[in-house]
Amino acid sequence: MSNQKRQYDNAKILLVYPEYPDTFWSFRHALKFISKKAVHPPLGLLTVAAMLPGKWPKRLVDTNTTTLKDRDLDWADYVFIGAMAVQRASAEKIIQRCLAKGKTIVAGGPLFTSAYEDFPQINHFILDEAEFTLPPFLEDIKKGVPQKIYSNNNHPELHHTPIPLWELIETKRYATMDIQYSRGCPYNCDFCDITTLFGHKSRTKNKWQMIMELERLYELGWRGNVFFVDDNFIGNKRRLKQEVLPLLIDWMERKKHPFTFSTEASIDLADDNELIEMMVNAGFDGVFIGIESPDKDSLAECNKIQNKDRDLLASVKRIQQAGLDVTGGFIVGFDSDKTSIFKKQIEFIQESRIITAMVGLLNAPKNSGLYRRLKKENRLLKDPTGSNTDFTMNFVPRMDPQILINGYKKVLAGIYSAQPYYQRVMKFLKEKKPQIKRNVPLRPGVIVALIKTIFILGLKDKERQYFWRLFFWSLFKRPKLFPEAITYAVYGFHFRKVCLG
C-alpha cells in the first residue's frame, strides 16, 4: 500500500465550530437557568461529517460548549472549520492555533463562501453547498492533488443529503436540536443573501428523510424542541400539506409527541388556515417571521413584497390565535425611514404582543441586492459583522447616524425595559388560548431551572417586582400558562442584558 493511500485511509478529522459572541440570539444569559451551554448544535458540520468517508476517525469540538485543546489539534490530520460571519473573531483565533500546529485547514460555510479572499492562509475552501463541492475535494485528496478552492454555483437536490452525525456531540449540552427540511426562498428581499447562497427554488428533502432524521434524534434519547432551520419552511406549501405534515402528524402521535417544533416562515403563512392547523397538529408551537417594518415605504424599498399591502398586525394575530407563537424580526435604518419609525416600531411590537422581537440596525450582507446597490452608490464602509446587537452599520445611512443610533436605542428600551416587556408578556398570556398539552413528565432539570429563576429574578434582580407580579398572576389566573410565563421572564432577563447593558 502506498504512503498516499495509507494517509487517505487513516485521515483523522477534527471538526471545529467557532464561538458565538454575546448577541440577541445567543441566549447566553438565559441558558444558565436551564444548565445548557448553547442553543443550537453545529448542524452544518454534523452534516458534513456524515458526508466524509465512514472509516475516517472524526471528532467535533463546539467551542460554544467546550474548550478546544492542544491535544485535539495534535490528534488531527485535517481541521474542518465551518462558520457564519458573526463567528469571525473566534474563527480567526482557531485558524491561528491551527497554523501554529502546522495543521491542514479546510473551511466552509457562509463566512468563507462570502469572504474566502480574506483568509489566504487557509489550505482548502469547500464553498457553496457541500453536496456538490465536498466530493471532488475528497477525490482529489485520494489522488494526492487537492486544490485550494472548490466552488459550484449550482444548487443540489437534497434527496441524498445524509442524516447528521449526531454521535459527535453531547446533545444534553444544547437547548434544542436542529433539522433542515429545505433550502432556498421564493422571495427576493433586498437586504438578504439567502437567495444568493441557496437560490429561489425551495428544494426539499423527501418525507421519509425527515422521519428518519427525527427517528435518529428519538433513538438518541432527545426529548424537547426541534428547530427546522429552513429560511422559509413554507416555500413549498403543496408538498408540506400533501406529503410531509400528514406523515409528521402520524409519526408524532405514534411516538406520543416527544418533540415540539419551531421554524421560520414568511408572513403569508397567515393566509393559509389549513397549513397553520396542520403545523399545530404536527407539534409546531412557534414561528419566526421577518416583519421588518410597519412602514409601507420601507417595505417597498427592500422589496418585501410578501409584507406589502397587508394588515401586518392582523396577520400576526391570526397566526397567534391559531396556536403559533410569533417571533419577529424588525429593522431600522432603511433610506425611507423617518424619525417617526422608532415610535412606530415600539407601538407595533407592543400591540402585536410579539414577545421575542429582534430589532436590528440594517446591514448589507455581501452578495445581497442591498450590498450591490450601496456599492454602486459608494456608501459601503466595511463588511457586516453579522451581529444584531453591536450598534454598527456597514454603510452610510440616509438618516443622521447619531439620530439613528439614539432612535434604535429608544426602540430597545421601549420594548425590553422591564415595565413594557412584562406588560407585553401579561397581555399576550391574557389573550392566548392554551393549546392541548401532551403528557410530558416533569424532569428534575425543570425544578432546578425554576429554583434558579426564583433566586436570580425574584431575589437578586433589581426588576424583581415585575417578575413577582407575573409569577403570581400566571400561577393563579392562567396556571396552564405558568411555565410559559416563567420562560418569558427568563428571556426578558437575557434581552435586558444584551440590548440594554
The CATH number that domain 176-416 falls under is: 3.20.20.70
At 369, the amino acid letter reads: G
Residues 6+ apart with CB under 8 A from 340: none
Q: Which fold has domain 3-150?
A: Rossmann fold (3.40.50)
Q: What is the grid cell recorded at 434?
A: 392554551
Alpha carbons 428 and 316: distance in angstroms, whole number: 12
Residues 81, 95 contacting (CB under 8 angstroms): yes
Quote the pLDDT of residue 191: 95
What is the 3-class SS of 330-371, one letter each residue? EEECCCCCCCCHHHHHHHHHHHHCCCCEEEEECCCCCCCHHH
Residues 6+ apart with CB under 8 A from 269: 234, 275, 276, 287, 289, 319
- Helical packing angle, 245-254 and 207-219, nearest 10°: 30
Quote the pLDDT of residue 325: 97
Alpha carbons 275 and 281: distance in angstroms, whole number: 10
Alpha carbons 364 and 386: distance in angstroms, whole number: 10
Which residues belong to CATH 3.40.50.280 in the chain?
3-150
Tens-digit pLDDT string for the chain (501 aa): 345 565 678 899 999 999 999 999 999 999 999 999 999 999 999 999 999 999 999 999 999 999 999 999 999 999 999 999 999 999 999 999 999 999 999 999 999 999 999 999 999 999 999 999 999 999 999 999 999 999 999 999 999 999 999 999 999 999 999 999 999 999 999 999 998 889 999 999 999 999 999 999 999 999 999 999 999 999 999 999 999 999 999 999 999 999 999 999 999 999 999 999 999 999 999 999 999 999 999 999 999 999 999 999 999 999 999 999 999 999 999 999 999 999 999 999 999 999 999 999 999 998 899 999 999 999 999 988 888 788 999 999 999 999 999 999 999 999 999 999 999 999 999 999 877 655 555 566 788 999 999 999 999 999 999 999 999 999 999 999 999 999 999 999 999 999 998
Quote the pLDDT of residue 2: 46
Q: Which DSSP category does 156 fall into?
A: -
At 19, the amino acid letter reads: E
Q: Kindly report the backbone phi and psi dihedral angles of residue 33, in degrees, each rounded to the nearest multiple of 5, phi listed first.
A: -70, -30
DSSP string, 362-413: ----TTSHHHHHHHHTT-B-S-----SSS---SB--SS-HHHHHHHHHHHHH
Which residues belong to CATH 3.20.20.70 in the chain?
176-416
